[in-house]
Amino acid sequence: MNVTVYVPRDAAAVALGADEVAAAIAAEARAQGKSIRIVRNGSRGLIWLEPMVEVETADGRVAYGPVAVEDVPSLFAAGFLDGGGHRLGHGLTEEIGFLKRQTRLAFARCGIIDPLSLVDYEAHGGLAGLRKALALAPAQIVATVTESGLRGRGGAGFPTGIKWNTVLGARGDTKYVVCNADEGDSGTFADRMIMEGDPFVLIEGMAIAGLATGATKGFVYVRSEYPHAIEAMNAAVKIAGDARVLGTDILGSGKAFDIEIRVGAGAYVCGEETSLLNSLEGKRGVVRAKPPLPAIEGLFGKPTVVNNVISLASVPAILDKGAAFYRDFGMGRSRGTIPIQIAGNVKHGGLFEAAFGMTLGEIVDDVGGGTASGRPVKAVQVGGPLGAYFPRALFDTPFDYEAFAAKDGLIGHAGIVVFDDTVDMLKQARFAFEFCAVESCGKCTPCRIGAVRGAETLDKLGAGVAPEAQKALVADLCNTMKFGSLCALGGFTPYPVMSAMTHFPEDFSPRVAAVAAE
């Protein structure tokens, strides 16, 4: 029988040489007259081990990584096709601590199946949620999602069921489901991993959203920087259409839902739902004032569900296993699991899906293994470029929307970027203003002008021009931006700035001898 060898097709693995490794394994097997089957799976999320090659054995999959082309002959010599020992070996994949400690619901199949095999998808529990949804009335589907406690994973943490209920109740001849796959936050890659590693789970989640709200058309808005995800989603939509998972007769039910993949042109603000809708309509990506909510007047003025990839990919398991099953995980008002993305200067970077409630310290120190540089961790930024910088003193904060908000932080899309003690927090604060200035859509004054003035003020502080006055000015400016901005780009930029100033005051002293106030 053919031995199955898994070599990820995930962009991170490919960037690290997975295509060449797969080719080398195929060539070596041919040369040795060994018959193998290579499956290009998604990533398991242990990015520091990519390309991570797995071999199917009688005891389960055995992992090797990071594998380079030059390691391939020695892997064969060590008998890796039978799970033989090798210096790159990690034993049974499922026993690796980083994986074993996780609770994988949205990512249950990612890295396990062939991403574009619908047969494999179904064999691993796929489509069970959709089948159950087809037997329910729209209001029952909405109720299940509401009871599960699922909150939007795109950043704002808004309850998904409540949003769906608004769309269900909205009047409109046409309704839409829009999947936000813009994934602009620094250090985040969960959306990309799902789209590349298990695209059918997103398709299934969107179809369920359509059934729940009466929408028959869905769009996935993917950032242009994700060519592998775009390719995988287009291929998966075609396969799902051919198999009647999508189309005018979903699984023979007579109900309709279709999906189109659209590619963004690259602007952080196009991840904001209303500028995303403008962009989808072919307009400039400028934020729209709310109300009206997209749920009432969204794409082309029609009622629209806008949800993040992970929110939608969480739905099939909720429908399949029930609201109570999902709700049982987590803490407080943060129910279920969250795919945490650990990045930056960290030893074990990757995707870690877990129930809400682990502390930041556990995630960074125990799971992430501390910094890659080996130096002490000084700060971690949680929640993307608009998230706060937390010092070690806040490492006891549990991963929970409310707990982070109570410490003037946010979870956002659950990206964590780790910095060691060489980081200069004044520069990081200045970068936050600069980022906001570059990415601002320009619609409102606090953001458009404030971000530029903020960067200038921090430059003056660094130059020693009346530093105390500059600090007061930055705090005042942040207050104006927080409460006066139209959207969270301007409104949340104060989080990284103020957290840097509050938690790392030692970095906010002049870099040159102080000069007299101007």
Ligand X SMILES: Cc1cc2nc3c(=O)[nH]c(=O)nc-3n(C[C@H](O)[C@H](O)[C@H](O)COP(=O)(O)O)c2cc1C
Q: How far is the CB of 442 from ligand X (least distance, A)?
A: 13
Q: Which does 442 bind (CB under 5 to 8 A by kind): ligand X, ligand SF4, none?
A: ligand SF4
Closest CA to 57 of 87, 95, 28: 95
**Is there binding between residue 288 and ligand SF4 (CB under 6 A)?**
no
158 interface partner picked from ligand SF4, ligand X, none, CB below 5 to 8 A per type:
ligand X
Instruction: For residue 478, state whether it binds ligand SF4 (rule: CB under 6 A).
Output: no
Tokens of 149: 């406690």
| Nearest distance in Å: CB 488, ligand SF4 | 7
Residues 377-406: x where in contact with ligand SF4 by CB under 6 A, - otherwise, as a string: ------------------------------
Least distance from C-beta 492 to ligand X, angstroms? 7
Q: How many CB atoms lie within 10 A of CB 137?
A: 10
Among candidate residues 196, 243, 197, 245, the one with its CA nearest the CA of residue 218? 245
Beta strands at 36-39 and 415-420: parallel, antiparallel or unpaired: unpaired
Crossing angle of the two packed helices 138-148 and 160-169, in degrees rounded to 10: 160
The CB-of-479 to ligand SF4 minimum distance in angstroms stands at 15
Distances in whole angstroms, Cα of residue 56 to Cα of each of 6, 39, 53, 219: 8, 11, 10, 36
490 sits near ligand SF4 (criterion: CB under 6 A): yes
Which stretches of the chain bind ligand X, using CB under 6 A?
A: 152-156, 158, 180, 182-184, 268-269, 271-273, 306-308, 311, 487-489
Closest-CA residue to 415 (of 308, 311, 499, 342): 342
Contacts of 294 (CB under 8 A, 6+ apart): 178, 273, 274, 277, 304, 306
Instruction: Say which entry of ligand X, ligand SF4, none residue 318 contacts (CB below 5 to 8 A, set by partner kind).
Output: none
Q: Which helix (H) or strand (E) holds 220?
A: strand 217-222
- Please name the residue that has the structure tokens 């390719």: 231
> Under the criterion CB under 6 A, does residue 367 sit at the interface with ligand SF4?
no
When CB distances are held under 5 to 8 angstroms depending on the partner's kind, the choice from ligand SF4, ligand X, none that residue 448 binds is: ligand SF4
Residue 482 binds to ligand SF4 (criterion: CB under 6 A): no
d(Cα 165, Cα 142) in Å, to the nearest integer?
6
Binding mask 250-269 for ligand SF4 (x = CB under 6 A): -------------------x
Rg (CA), the chain: 24
Which of ligand X, ligand SF4, none does 499 bind, CB closer than 5 to 8 A by kind? none
Q: Is the dihedral of CA 270, 276, 278, 280 positive or negative?
A: positive
Task: Please identify, among the stretches 98-106, 148-156, 197-205, 486-494, the one whose residues bind ligand SF4 according to the rule CB under 6 A.
Answer: 486-494
d(CA 346, CA 368): 6
Task: By CB under 6 A, tell whether 287 contacts ligand SF4.
Answer: yes
Question: At 8, phi and psi to the nearest 5?
Answer: -60, 145
Q: Choose between 308 and 470: whose C-beta lies nearer to ligand X.
A: 308
Tell me which of ligand SF4, ligand X, none is bound by residue 271, counting a contact when its beta carbon lies within the kind-specific cut-off of 5 to 8 angstroms. Answer: ligand X
Residue 440 contact partner, candidates ligand SF4, ligand X, none, CB within 5 to 8 A by sort of partner: ligand SF4
- Under the binding rule (CB under 6 A), the answer on residue 487 touching ligand SF4 is yes
CB of 445 to ligand SF4, least distance (A): 8
Binding residues for ligand SF4 (CB under 6 A) = 269, 287, 440-444, 447-448, 485-487, 489-490
